[in-house]
Amino acid sequence: MVSEADIRSGMPLKELQPIFIFLAVVLLLLSASCSRRTVPADAVHGKSGRSAGGVLIKTSEFTLIIPDVSLSQSETKQLEQFINAGIGLSVASNKATPEDIIRTARGYLGVPHCMGGTTAKCMDCSGLIFRIFARHGITLPHNSEEQARYGRIITEKKMLMPGDLVFFVRTYSSSRLITHSGIFIGEDRFIHTSSGKGVTITPLNDPYWKERYLFGTRIFE
């Protein structure tokens, strides 16, 4: 360290420069450390509660912030486990476009709901996505939570583009976190299979779906 006596004794400026640089780096690191502490402790550890601020998930590889969702502590833990098990998987698009997917999806409007269904006779939410993508040579699982592993996660609802998949929680009692899926078609609307209406188009800001929205994924880049 540089003492006042060293400065008074006339230590050359050139010799002092490395010491000043070292002190500046230490101060910078301390400042960064303090700034990280401004993140709520609950959020850092995945205990977001049901706050309007969203959820912050930290893994060994990255930090994921999802602003448009409110999860309980146990749901946040489930989300962390889901992410650690693998997300962002790639899938061949086989030259299909978002417009192709949406056009095909509209052709199923009015098809009734049935659990496990994947045909024009009846289908569930993941069955609709499974069938639509299969018609364009794209293989996705017939399960909403597993479908959510494919494509790039879109954490902000305002960044969704037509053709993106959208995922929801708490739509029925299940041990799984993600229980519903649909296809974003633009203008804040998505097409999906509703248990009451069958294949239908619904606003994302509908109170029921807004409360349960989790994130989107982008298959087509």
Q: What is the pLDDT of residues 182-209, one digit of tens each?
A: 999 999 999 999 999 999 999 999 999 9
Please give the structure tokens belonging to residue 9: 């004794």
Active site residue 180: yes
- The domain segmentation of the chain, as residue ranges, is 4-38, 86-218
Q: How far apart are CA 13 and CA 83, in angstroms?
A: 53
Active site residue 192: yes
The fold adopted by the segment(s) 86-218 is: endopeptidase fold (from Nostoc punctiforme) (3.90.1720)
Active site residue 122: no
pLDDT at 18: 58
Q: How far apart are CA 203 and CA 185, in angstroms?
A: 10
Q: How far apart are CA 20 and CA 29, in angstroms?
A: 14
Catalytic residue of the set 114, 122, 136, 180:
180
25 conformational bin, left if phi > 0, alpha if psi -120 to 50, beta if neither:
alpha
CB 137 within 8 A of CB 96: yes
CA angle 99, 125, 194 (to 5 degrees): 100
Catalytic residue of the set 34, 114, 122, 125:
125
pLDDT at 183: 99
Q: Which residue type, as a one-letter code, is found at position 75?
A: E
Task: Round the CA-based radius of gyration of the chain to a whole number and report it.
Answer: 25
* Residue in 166, 210, 159 with CA at minimum distance from that of residue 191: 166
pLDDT at 69: 81
pLDDT at 58: 80
> Which parts of the chain have pLDDT scores under 70?
1-53
* Residue in 148, 142, 152, 157 with CA at minimum distance from that of residue 193: 142
Q: How far apart are CA 26 and CA 137, in angstroms?
A: 56
Map tokens 């590889």 to a residue. 61
pLDDT at 25: 45
H or E element, residue 166: strand 165-169
Residues whose CB is less than 8 angstroms from the CB of residue 50 and which lie 6 or more positions away in sequence, other chains included: 70, 71, 72
